[in-house]
C-alpha cells in the first residue's frame, strides 16, 4: 500500500458535512467536498443576484465605453463571467465580469490591433490562465509585493479617471493617461455645460445615496447607488438635455467575433501576458478580499467593526476560495468571452462586495446575476439606450478613483514601501501596465539592496577594551567597511562585538570568524553580544542534537544540560534573549525579528548557542564542566511559562483574542489517553480552537448507565455533541499503554482501588480480544507485535461501540451529521494509523488500522489526511488491496492470537 492513502468521497449518510470555516486557520486552503451535486437557490441568493445585476449593467456598459469597445461586449462579459466563472470558479461569492483593471490595457489593444484581434488576445490569456491553474500556480501570483500590486491597480485607476473625465466633459479620451492629463486645460476651455452637469449629478448621487439618513434613507438604500445614480441622471437628461450623447447599442446581427491575430508575434505575446497578469492578479486579490468579507460577515462584524446584534441570525457558512480552481474558472470564462466577442473577464471587488453584503450564500447568486444580464441584453435594449454616456463615464471615473485606496497607501507607508508604490503608479500612468510592474519590481529590489547595505559600524575605546557596534544586516555589501573597522583594533586586544540585526550571510560570517580566531590566537579575548548585552557564541554540532526546530515546542530536557561553565543553560538564557542572531554553523540562515513567525526558531538557536557557552575563547570564561542537578518541577513549570510568554504568546495572542471574543467552535471531539508522550496538538497539527479534547487513563468511554462517579466523560461527550455541534469524534489509543498493561494483569484478588474502578470500563475490550466472535484488530501491513498492542487496538474499536450507545451520539449519527473515527498512534515510530471506515462506522467486520503517510504535495490528493484538525480529511481510506497480505486464515495461530488456539474466526459480532 502506498504511503499516500487515497481518500474516497462518497455521499452516503456517513460522509462528512462541510467543515466550519472558522475552525480551520489555513487561509485559502482547498474547500471541503460538497455534499451532493444539487444546485440550490435560496431566497437570499435570489435577492442578492438582483442587487448585483442592478450594479453590473451600468458598470458593464460604462467599462465598454471607457475601453471604446462595442457596448454589447460589456453585457456579454458580465453574463459569461457570472454564469461560467460563477459555476466553475473557486470563490463561490465572487462576481466576475468586465475588468476595471484591464480598462487601459484593453483600450490600447483595441486602438492598436482592432476589436477582433483583441478578442483573440483575450482567448489566449484565458488559455494561459487555465494552464497556470492546472499547474497550481495561483498562489505564486500572490507572492508579488503588495506595494507593486496595489500600485498597479492604483495607476490603472488614475488612468481610468483621467480618460473618463474627458467623456464627462463631452469629448473623447486621448490615447494615453499622460496625453489625457495634458489635454485637460484645453478641454475645460471649450466644454458645453450639459455633459459635465449630468456627470456631476451622477457623482453626487453616488456619494450621497449610501448616506441618506432616517427611515426613508434605509428604505431607498436597498436600491444600489450605481443604479440610482444612473437612473436619476437618465431621467434628468431626458427632460433637461434631450440632445446629449447616449448609449447606442448596435444590432446583435452586426456583432463582431474574433479573428486570427494579426501583428508582430512578440508584441502579441506581450499583449497576452499583460492581459493574463492583470486579470489574474485582480481576480485572485478580489477572491482574497471576498474571503475576508465572508469571514467578517460570519463573525457578525460589519465595516464599522460594530458588534452584531444579540438576536441577529447567524450568517451562513460559505466555502473558502480554492485559488487554483478560481484561476481555471476565470480562464474558461475568458476563452468563452473572447469567442463570443466580449471584453476580458476578471473578478470584481465592487460587484463581489455587494454580493456578500446583500446576503448571498452560494454560487446561485452569481450565476443568476449573469442570467439577468443575459435577459436584459435581449429585452431591455430600448431602455438602455436612454442612458447618457456622461453618466456611465462618471460612474466608471468614481470606480477609478476608488482603486487608489487610502488604506493601501497607509499600509505601504507603514511598511516603508511607499517608494515602490509610487514608482509603480508613475510607471503605469506614464508607460503602461507591464512597464509599470517592471519599474515597481526594479525599485523594490533596489530598496531591498539599500536596506541590506545600510549597515552602521562604530568602534569605541572603553579604556583598554574596544566596543564594536554593528547596526543592521551583515551581508557581503557591508564586508569592506566591517573589515576596515575590525582592522583598526589592536591585535591581541580585548573586544566586545555587539551585533544588532537579524541576518548574516556567509561572507560576513567568515570575516568575523577569521578576525576572532586571529585575535584569540594572539592572546586577545573577544565576546559577542546582542543589543541587550547577552552573550552569543558559535554552538558545537552536538548542541543541535537536542534542541532542534522540528516541532513548535522545545524539549525541556535541553535546559537541564550544563554548559562548560558549570551553569544550567536556563540560568543564563534570560540574558541571551536580546541577542539578534547567533554565530552558528549555518551563518546564512535568516534570523526573523521578534514577533515574526521565525522568532521562536531564533530563541532555539540562542538556546543551542548557550548550551556550549564557554567552550571557546570568545564566549566567556571556560568552566570545569561540573554536573548540575536537574531542575525541580516548580522551576521547570516557571521556566516553561516564562518561555511561553516570551516566545509563543506574541505569536498566538491575536488568535486567542479572537477565540475569546467569539467563543469556541471546535470541529472535533478528541478522546485519548493521559499518557504524557501523547502530544495531541503535535500529532494532529492542530491549534487553539480546533479540538475539544478529553484525556483519561486508557482513552476509555464508559457506556451509558455505568456506575455513578464516571459521568465526566459522558458529560464531555454530551456537551461536545449537543452544544458545540462537533462534526466528528476520534478515539485515539497508543502503543505501550500502561492502562492496557494493567488491564491484562488484572486478577480476581486485585485491590479495589480508584484505578481498578476506572479500568473496569476496559474489561469489555479484554473480552472482545479473547472472543471468537470478533475479527482481529490489525495494523495495515503487519500483525500486532504482542498481546498489549492487540489490546490497545481492540480497545479503540470497543470504545467506539460505547460511544455509539450514547443517546446524543446515536441521534447525530442517524441524522448523518456526525462521524466516528478510530486512531492508533505508535509512539516509538511516530506513526499514526486510522481505523477503516466500516469499522469506525460500526458496519464493517475488517478492524484494520491503515497507515497515514506523508503525502507528496505534487501527487497527493488535495485533502491531506495527516491533518486531523479538519474532520473532512478523516474520511474513508480508499485502497484495501493490502489486507489480504495480512489476513490470517482460520487455523493459523499468529503472534497476536491471545488464546494461542488459532481458532479465532472472522465473523461479525
**Annotation marks residue 883 as catalytic:** no
For the stretch 806-854, pLDDT in tens is 999 999 999 989 999 999 999 998 899 998 877 777 666 667 888 887 7
Q: How far is CA 794 from CA 520, 824, 825, in A?
A: 64, 10, 13
Spot the catalytic one: 675, 867, 870, 897. Answer: 675
- Of 436, 445, 443, residue with least CA distance to 154: 436
Q: Three-class SS of residue 87?
A: helix
Spot the catalytic one: 653, 677, 757, 782. Answer: 677
CB 786 within 8 A of CB 896: yes
Spot the catalytic one: 328, 363, 604, 734. Answer: 734
Write the DSSP string, 321-360: P-HHHHHHHHHHHHHHHHHTT---EEE-HHHHHHHHHTT-
Q: Three-class SS of residue 297?
A: helix
Which is more confident, 522 or 706?
Answer: 522
Whether the pLDDT of residue 716 is over 50: the answer is: yes
**Annotation marks residue 558 as catalytic:** no
Write the DSSP string, 681-714: HHHTT--TTTEEEEEETT---PPTTPPTT-HHHH
Which is more confident, 900 or 666?
Answer: 666
For the stretch 247-286, pLDDT in tens is 777 666 667 788 887 778 899 999 999 999 888 888 887 8
Spot the catalytic one: 558, 673, 732, 855. Answer: 673
| Residue 904 burial class via C-beta count within 10 angstroms: exposed 0-12, middle 13-18, buried 19 and up | buried
**Annotation marks residue 806 as catalytic:** no
CB 690 within 8 A of CB 23: yes
Q: What is the mean pLDDT of the chain?
A: 74
At 247 the pLDDT is 79
For the stretch 9-68, pLDDT in tens is 343 333 444 444 444 444 444 444 444 445 577 778 887 888 788 778 888 888 888 888
**Annotation marks residue 675 as catalytic:** yes
Reported confidence tier of residue 311, pLDDT bands at 50, 70, 90: very low
Q: How far apart are the C-alpha atoms of 763 and 503, rounded to whole Å?
A: 59
C-alpha cell at 198: 449630468
| Residue 26 burial class via C-beta count within 10 angstroms: exposed 0-12, middle 13-18, buried 19 and up | exposed
Q: What percent of the chain has pLDDT over 70?
A: 73
At 845 the pLDDT is 61
Find the distance separating the first CA and the last CA of the chain, reported in whole Å.
28
For the stretch 578-595, pLDDT in tens is 333 333 333 333 333 333
pTM of the full structure: 0.48
Provide the CB-side half-sphere exposure for 832 (13 A, CA): 24
For the stretch 643-672, pLDDT in tens is 788 777 877 888 888 888 888 889 899 999
Spot the catalytic one: 4, 737, 792, 855. Answer: 737
At 303 the pLDDT is 40
CA angle 253–62–277, rounded 5-degree value: 95
- Of 2, 275, 272, 331, residue with least CA distance to 137: 331
Q: What percent of the chain has pLDDT over 90?
A: 19
Q: Three-class SS of residue 849?
A: strand
**Annotation marks residue 826 as catalytic:** no
CB 583 within 8 A of CB 537: yes
| Residue 635 burial class via C-beta count within 10 angstroms: exposed 0-12, middle 13-18, buried 19 and up | middle
Amino acid at each position: 500500500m502506498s504511503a499516500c492513502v487515497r481518500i474516497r468521497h462518497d455521499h452516503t449518510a456517513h460522509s462528512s458535512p462541510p467543515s466550519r470555516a472558522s475552525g480551520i486557520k489555513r487561509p485559502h486552503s482547498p474547500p471541503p467536498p460538497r455534499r451532493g451535486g444539487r444546485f440550490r437557490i435560496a431566497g437570499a441568493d435570489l435577492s442578492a443576484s438582483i442587487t448585483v445585476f442592478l450594479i453590473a449593467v451600468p458598470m458593464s456598459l460604462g467599462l465598454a465605453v471607457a475601453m471604446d469597445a462595442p457596448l454589447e461586449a460589456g453585457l456579454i462579459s458580465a453574463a459569461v463571467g457570472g454564469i461560467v466563472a460563477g459555476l466553475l470558479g473557486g470563490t463561490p461569492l465572487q462576481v466576475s465580469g468586465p475588468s476595471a483593471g484591464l480598462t487601459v490595457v484593453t483600450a490600447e489593444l483595441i486602438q492598436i490591433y482592432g476589436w477582433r484581434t483583441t478578442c483573440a488576445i483575450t482567448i489566449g490569456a484565458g488559455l494561459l490562465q487555465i494552464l497556470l491553474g492546472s499547474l497550481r500556480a495561483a498562489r505564486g501570483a500572490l507572492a508579488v509585493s503588495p506595494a507593486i500590486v496595489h500600485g498597479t491597480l492604483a495607476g490603472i485607476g488614475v488612468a481610468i479617471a483621467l480618460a473618463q473625465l474627458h467623456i464627462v466633459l463631452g469629448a473623447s479620451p486621448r490615447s494615453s493617461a499622460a496625453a489625457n492629463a495634458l489635454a485637460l486645460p484645453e478641454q475645460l476651455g471649450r466644454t458645453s455645460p450639459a455633459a459635465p452637469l449630468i456627470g456631476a449629478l451622477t457623482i453626487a448621487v453616488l456619494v450621497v445615496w449610501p448616506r441618506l439618513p432616517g427611515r426613508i434613507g434605509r428604505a431607498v438604500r436597498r436600491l444600489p447607488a450605481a443604479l440610482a445614480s444612473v437612473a436619476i441622471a437618465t431621467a434628468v437628461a431626458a427632460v433637461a438635455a434631450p440632445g446629449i450623447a447616449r448609449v447606442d447599442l448596435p444590432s446583435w446581427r452586426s456583432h463582431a467575433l474574433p479573428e486570427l491575430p494579426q501583428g508582430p508575434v512578440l508584441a502579441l505575446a506581450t499583449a497576452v501576458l499583460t492581459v493574463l497578469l492583470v486579470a489574474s492578479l485582480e481576480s485572485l486579490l478580489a477572491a482574497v478580499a471576498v474571503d475576508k468579507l465572508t469571514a467578517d460577515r460570519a463573525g457578525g462584524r460589519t465595516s464599522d467593526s460594530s458588534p452584531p446584534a444579540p438576536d441577529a441570525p447567524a450568517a451562513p457558512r460559505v466555502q473558502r476560495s480554492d485559488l487554483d480552481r478560481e484561476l481555471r474558472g476565470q480562464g474558461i470564462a475568458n476563452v468563452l468571452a473572447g469567442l463570443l466577442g466580449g471584453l476580458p473577464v476578471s473578478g470584481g471587488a465592487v460587484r463581489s462586495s455587494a454580493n456578500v453584503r446583500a446576503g448571498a450564500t452560494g454560487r446561485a447568486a452569481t450565476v443568476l446575476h449573469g442570467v439577468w444580464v443575459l435577459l436584459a441584453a435581449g429585452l431591455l435594449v430600448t431602455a438602455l439606450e436612454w442612458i447618457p454616456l456622461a453618466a456611465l463615464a462618471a460612474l466608471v471615473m468614481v470606480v477609478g478613483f476608488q482603486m487608489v485606496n487610502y488604506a493601501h497607501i497607509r499600509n505601504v507607508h507603514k511598511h516603508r514601501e511607499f517608494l515602490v508604490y509610487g514608482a509603480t503608479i508613475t510607471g503605469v500612468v506614464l508607460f503602461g501596465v507591464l512597464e509599470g510592474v517592471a519599474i515597481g519590481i526594479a525599485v523594490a529590489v533596489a530598496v531591498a539592496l539599500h536596506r541590506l547595505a545600510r549597515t552602521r559600524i562604530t568602534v569605541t575605546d572603553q579604556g583598554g577594551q574596544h566596543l564594536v557596534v554593528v547596526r543592521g544586516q551583515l551581508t557581503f555589501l557591508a564586508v569592506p567597511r566591517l573589515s576596515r573597522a575590525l582592522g583598526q583594533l589592536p591585535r591581541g586586544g580585548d573586544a566586545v562585538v555587539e551585533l544588532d540585526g537579524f541576518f548574516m550571510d556567509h561572507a560576513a560570517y567568515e570575516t568575523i570568524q577569521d578576525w576572532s580566531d586571529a585575535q584569540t590566537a594572539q592572546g586577545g579575548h573577544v565576546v559577542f553580544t546582542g543589543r541587550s548585552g547577552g552573550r552569543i557564541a558559535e554552538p558545537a554540532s552536538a548542541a543541535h542534537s537536542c534542541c532542534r526546530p522540528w516541532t513548535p515546542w522545545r524539549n525541556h530536557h535541553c535546559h537541564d544540560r550544563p554548559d562548560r561553565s558549570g551553569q544550567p543553560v536556563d540560568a543564563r538564557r534570560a540574558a541571551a534573549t536580546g541577542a539578534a542572531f547567533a554565530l552558528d554553523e549555518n551563518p546564512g540562515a535568516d534570523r526573523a525579528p521578534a514577533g515574526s513567525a521565525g522568532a521562536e526558531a531564533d530563541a532555539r538557536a540562542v538556546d543551542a548557542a548557550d548550551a556550549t557557552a564557554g567552550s571557546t575563547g570568545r564566549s566567556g570564561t571556560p568552566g570545569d564542566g561540573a554536573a548540575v542537578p536537574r531542575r525541580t518541577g516548580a522551576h521547570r513549570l516557571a521556566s516553561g511559562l516564562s518561555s511561553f510568554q516570551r516566545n509563543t504568546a506574541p505569536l498566538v495572542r491575536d488568535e486567542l483574542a479572537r477565540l475569546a471574543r467569539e467563543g469556541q467552535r471546535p470541529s472535533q471531539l478528541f478522546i485519548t489517553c493521559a499518557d504524557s508522550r501523547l502530544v495531541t496538538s503535535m500529532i494532529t497539527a492542530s491549534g487553539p480552537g480546533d479540538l475539544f479534547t478529553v484525556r483519561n487513563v486508557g482513552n476509555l468511554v464508559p457506556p451509558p448507565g455505568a456506575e455513578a462517579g464516571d459521568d465526566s466523560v459522558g458529560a464531555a461527550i454530551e456537551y461536545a455533541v449537543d452544544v458545540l455541534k462537533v462534526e466528528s469524534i476520534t478515539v485515539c489509543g497508543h502503543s505501550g499503554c500502561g492502562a492496557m498493561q494493567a488491564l491484562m494483569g488484572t486478577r480476581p484478588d486485585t485491590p479495589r482501588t480508584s484505578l481498578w474502578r476506572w479500568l473496569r470500563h476496559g474489561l469489555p475490550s479484554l473480552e472482545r480480544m479473547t472472543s471468537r466472535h470478533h475479527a482481529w484488530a490489525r495494523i495495515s501491513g503487519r500483525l500486532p507485535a504482542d498481546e498489549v498492542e492487540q489490546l490497545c487496538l481492540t480497545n479503540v474499536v470497543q470504545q467506539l461501540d460505547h460511544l455509539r450507545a450514547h443517546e446524543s451520539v446515536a441521534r447525530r449519527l442517524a441524522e448523518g451529521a456526525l462521524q466516528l473515527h478510530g486512531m492508533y498512534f505508535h509512539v516509538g515510530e511516530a506513526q499514526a494509523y486510522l481505523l477503516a471506515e466500516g469499522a469506525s462506522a460500526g458496519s464493517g467486520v475488517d478492524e484494520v488500522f491503515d497507515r497515514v503517510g506523508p503525502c507528496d504535495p505534487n501527487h497527493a490528493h488535495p485533502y491531506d489526511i495527516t491533518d486531523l484538525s479538519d474532520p473532512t480529511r478523516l474520511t474513508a481510506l480508499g485502497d484495501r488491496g493490502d489486507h489480504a497480505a495480512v489476513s490470517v486464515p482460520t487455523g493459523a495461530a499468529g503472534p497476536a492470537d491471545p488464546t494461542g488456539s488459532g481458532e479465532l474466526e472472522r465473523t461479525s459480532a
